[in-house]
Amino acid sequence: MLLPLLLGFSATMLNHAYQRSLRSAERDALHHQIYILLGAAEPGDKGLQLPPVLAEPRYSSVNSGLLAWVVGTAGRVQWRSRSSELIPDLDMPRITTAFNPGRLQFFSAWVEDKEYYAISYDTVWDVNAKERGYRFVVMQSREPMLNELKAYQKRLWRWLGGLAFLLIIVQTLIAKWGLSPLRKLAADLEKVEEGLQQLPGVYPAEIQPVTDNLNRVLRSEQAQRERYRNTLSDLAHSLKTPLAVIRGHLESRQNLSAENLAQMVDEQVSRMSSIVDHQLRRASAQVTHAGRVNAVPVKPVIERLVRALRKVYQAKNIDFQLNIPTPLSFHGDEADLMELMGNIIDNACKYGNHSLAISAAQEGNDLSLRVEDDGPGVAADVQQTILTRGARADTATPGQGIGLAVAVDILSSYGGSIDIFRSRLGGAGFAVRIPN
């Protein structure tokens, strides 16, 4: 866009400068001619005399484009060069300005449809001991100059035009070459839209970060989709069982009493409700943690939970002992940490009596969280069940261990683990480890 403007401007400038230099050369030449004439002039008997042949051969040949003549103060032509012989007197330009010795004048004139550039010089000569005024006039045709200018302009435009054309081509090529990776990216994205899983191929270093990020987004999106699909089919399948139970009872027309029927429906409804609950929580817990960047301070989260739970279990008057270093952070989602610890601490509040200890520490590359209570503890044979339950929600009995199952789900999405141990408080202890 800028290029033609720039080229046009420089062309105008060049043209103008050239014209000026031509004009100045023209003036210099005319000036020079005046001196030649003055040098050749001799005062004679009949006024000023000039030799028929001058040093400048163009004065002698007709139509040479260089004309000269000398006019007396009265307007009579004293001398004219041979080159002006074909031009009638009447066509000679008349100079109207008053005679003024020593004055040099430049002017343009048209003679026989030709443009001339002219100079006049007023002089006073001592002829026969008398002072006589003579005006010297030299006219030079501008045709050669104009032709040269035209040719120059033609050349100039041709060069600049060629240059512009070349530049545009080069520019287009550069743009085309420079943007080709983006075009490739666009085409690849289109392919992704049609079902390709990742952006293929290698891109230039400048856009590699963009494509890497896009690929990451695509991957997490895909994983998310996969999980949703799994969750959905899990959900649908696990809901089928209780529905089948209800339908079975209705179709077999067993002699169920109204009370038993109500109980059966209630059981199945509770089961379905806990399935829905579980899947919902699992869905929200299992987002990808590829970009684990935000560091969540652990202490405030636990303190909020403890304040809330203290309220809920007010009647139990539980003594919470917290041992969490203030600078400790969890690298992940705050909601996940809250959900994880909320479920474990709530569980401890439920089964504990009056004392509860919560401690946290960074151990190597892991965040270690421990929750201990003074309740009855967890029997060895159910330890595994309460921790694995929820992996298949459709087999879970309602109201039991759902909270812990959610905790396990969250942990597995972070690649963490949970263990049950006997607490020094006498009850159960839950030890959580999360890569941090």
270 vs 368, which CB is nearer to other proteins? Answer: 270
| CA pair distance 330, 339, nearest whole angstrom | 13
Choose between 378 and 402: whose C-beta lies nearer to other proteins: 402
Nearer CB in complex with other proteins: 43/398: 398
| Vertex 226: Cα angle to 220 and 231 (nearest 5) | 125
DSSP letter, residue 103: -
Min dist CB 320 to other proteins, Å, is: 15
Instruction: Considering the complex, state which of residue 120 and residue 343 has its C-beta at the smaller distance from other proteins.
Output: 343
* Residue with smaller CB distance to other proteins, 81 or 343: 343
Contact 301, 337 (CB under 8 A): yes
- Give the nearer residue to other proteins in terms of CB position, either 48 or 369: 369
Contact 199, 218 (CB under 8 A): yes
Residues engaged in binding other proteins (CB under 8 A):
269-270, 273, 277, 280-281, 284, 304-305, 307-308, 311-312, 314-315, 335, 338-339, 341-343
- DSSP code, position 65: S
We find the least distance from the C-beta atom of residue 378 to other proteins, in angstroms, to be 22
- The token duo for 345 is 């601490």
CA atoms within 13 A on the CB side of 191: 12
Convert 181-193 into a string of H (helix), E (strand) and C (coil): HHHHHHHHHHHHH
Tell me how far CA of residue 243 lies from CA of 251, 267, 272, 336, in angstroms.
Answer: 12, 11, 9, 32
The burial class, CB within 10 Å (0-12 / 13-18 / 19+), for 371 is buried
Non-local (6+) Cβ contacts of 282 within 8 A are 231, 390, 406, 409
| Least distance from other proteins to the Cβ atom of residue 364, Å | 28
Least gap, CB of 311 to other proteins (angstroms) = 5
CB of 232 to other proteins, least distance (A): 19
Give the shortest CB-302-to-other proteins separation in angstroms. 11
Q: Shortest approach of other proteins to residue 337 CB, angstroms?
A: 9
Q: Is the CB of 61 or the CB of 294 nearer to other proteins?
A: 294
**Closest approach of Cβ 251 to other proteins, in Å?**
26
Please calculate the CA angle 133-84-121 and round it to the nearest 5 degrees: 30
Rounded Cα distance between 38 and 101, Å, is 14
Comparison of 67 and 239: residue with beta carbon closer to other proteins: 239
Report how far residue 275's alpha carbon sits from residue 287's, in angstroms, rounded to the nearest whole number: 19
